[in-house]
Amino acid sequence: MNWNISRLDCKVSEGDLSDVCIVAHWQCSDTVDGYSASVYATCSLPSPDPESFTPYASLTQEQVLEWIWANGVDKDATEAAVLQQIENQKNPPVVAPPLPWAA
């Protein structure tokens, strides 16, 4: 499974802090047997603790992923949804066969 942070929306300043992340744009995707699927969404982030604030330039994708998983993004459910999309491509639950009277 591939997790990616594609964008961070930031407040220019909050108190004495600058470039404070408030929204993370994320995507979870995977490819299995040539079938690909993904989920994209955003996650609001709480105001940081000034004592443990990480400057924007020092952030890592892993750190931001941990933030989104701690703030409402269910990692296991998201990965299951991606795999279900792939399964539905392999074995469609609904099909539209040709009309029986059409030649």
Domain ranges in the chain are 2-90
> Rounded mean pLDDT of 84-92?
97
Distance CA 42, CA 79 (A): 16
Q: With a cut of 80, say whether residue 103 has pLDDT above it.
A: no
Q: How confident is the model at residue 44 (pLDDT cuts 50, 70, 90)?
A: very high
Q: Around 44, how many Cα atoms within 13 Å sit in the side-chain half-sphere?
A: 2
Predicted confidence (pLDDT) per residue in 18-42, tens digit:
999 999 999 999 999 999 999 999 9
